[in-house]
Amino acid sequence: MQRAGIKPGMNVLDWGCGARDVSFLVAALVGSLRAEFSESTDLLQRLSRARERQQRLDFKNVSFEVVEDLASFTTRTPVDAVVGNSF
């Protein structure tokens, strides 16, 4: 992430995140991270795991939200970078 230019003070959007490590790796580097979940069959489980992990790791600079319509998505606040990880 650092080689990609992610640094302290940035506001970053993690697009299509899960309870994976990417959100928390970025959160450790920046001032604010907003992570977006797209709808899926296991959405509530993934969201619950991510929020549990957030509390356990004490990341107050992370927010998780569900996006229902990806085609018309816009951020509420400006972001400096967008990250994503899909396998």
For 9, 43, 69, 76, the CA distances from 49, given in Å and listed in that order, are: 26, 10, 22, 24
Q: Which domains does the chain have, with CATH numbers?
A: 11-82 (3.40.50.150)
Q: How far apart are CA 73 and CA 81, in angstroms?
A: 16
**Nearest Cα to Cα of residue 30 among 47, 16, 13:** 13
pLDDT at 40: 62
Contact 59, 73 (CB under 8 A): no
How do residues 26-77 score in pLDDT, each as one tens digit? 888 887 777 766 666 577 787 888 888 889 988 888 888 777 776 777 887 8
pLDDT level of residue 87 (50, 70, 90 thresholds): very low
> How confident is the model at residue 20, as a pLDDT?
62
- Interacting residues of 28 by C-beta distance below 8 A, sequence separation 6+: 59
